[in-house]
């Protein structure tokens, strides 16, 4: 049965009856479920899912600035600064001077940051593996392809 099927209210219909059955709503529910599982499984490592995302982004593209990272992650610069500060206090991330712009600081993982990322990534691989086992390899690959297509369409819209 679809998510919103059979839901009625006495007030005026503010949205279409199928609002909770839309693809975008299904994507959001899946995102919430995955994020919750990541946070739950990363908590024993002392990391949140947002910190894992930040660490893997800096690992993938060392030397990003906080502003670049905020744009890439679609969050505010303040949110990035807060997480960077926490990770820096833990010795997992460091800010280095930009080679050409003296007021710009680049972000780099420390050895402790690489170790934390390695441990966290093993947790994320476990979550991914569970999803792939449940869906089957063919459906998991198909889902990945479909999600990439959704991202492309959304960027064009």
- Summarize pLDDT for 89-116 with one digit per residue, the tens: 999 999 998 877 778 899 999 999 999 9
CB 96 within 8 A of CB 105: yes
Under the banding of pLDDT at 50, 70 and 90, the label for residue 19 is confident
- Residue 28: inside a domain, yes or no? no
Q: For residue 90, give every residue at least 6 positions away whose Cβ sits within 8 Å of its Cβ, in sequence order, or none.
A: 46, 112, 116
Q: Give domain status of residue 33, yes or no.
A: no
Task: Please give the tally of structural domains in the chain.
Answer: 1
Residue 17 has a pLDDT of 76
Secondary structure in 3-state letters for the chain: CCCCCCCCCCCCCCCCCCHHHCHHHHHHHHHHHHHHHHHHHHHHHCCCHHHHHHHHHHHHCCCCCHHHHHHHHCCCHHHHHHHHHHHHHCCCEEEEECCCCCCCEEEEECHHHHHHHHHHHHHHHHHHHHHHHHHCHHHHHHHHHHHHHHHHHHHHC
Q: Write down the residue that tokens 């993938």 correspond to.
A: 60
CATH number, domain containing residue 146: 1.10.10.10
Indicate whether 27 belongs to any domain.
Answer: no
Q: Which residue shows structure tokens 């086992």? A: 133
Q: Which one is predicted more confidently, 16 or 83? A: 83
Q: What is the pTM of this model?
A: 0.81
Domain that holds residue 147: 38-156
Residue 8 lies in a domain: no
Q: Does the pLDDT value for residue 44 go beyond 70?
A: yes
pLDDT at residue 10, as a whole number: 56
| Average pLDDT for 15-34 | 88
Rounded to an integer, the average pLDDT of 46-69 is 95
Residue 137 lies in a domain: yes
Q: Residue 32 domain-assigned? A: no
Whether the pLDDT of residue 21 is over 90: the answer is no
Question: Would you state the pLDDT for residue 29?
Answer: 95
Q: 135 in a domain, yes or no?
A: yes
Query: How long a stretch of residues is the chain?
Result: 157
The residues pairing with 45 across neighbouring beta strands, listed in sequence order, are none
Residue 24 in any domain: the answer is no
């Amino acid at each position: 049965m679809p998510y919103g099927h059979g839901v009625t209210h006495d007030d005026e219909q503010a949205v279409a009856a199928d609002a909770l059955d839309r693809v975008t709503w299904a994507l959001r529910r899946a995102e919430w479920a995955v994020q919750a599982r990541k946070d739950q499984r990363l908590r024993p490592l002392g990391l949140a899912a947002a910190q894992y995302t930040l660490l893997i982004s800096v690992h993938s593209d060392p030397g990003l600035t906080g502003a670049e990272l905020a744009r890439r992650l679609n969050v505010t610069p303040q949110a990035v600064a807060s997480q960077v500060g926490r990770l820096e206090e833990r010795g997992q991330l460091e800010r280095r001077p930009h080679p050409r712009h003296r007021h710009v600081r680049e972000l780099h993982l420390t050895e402790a940051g690489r170790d934390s990322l390695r441990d966290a990534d093993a947790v994320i691989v476990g979550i991914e593996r569970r999803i792939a086992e449940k869906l089957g390899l063919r459906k998991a690959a198909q889902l990945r392809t479909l999600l990439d297509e959704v991202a492309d369409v959304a960027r064009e819209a």
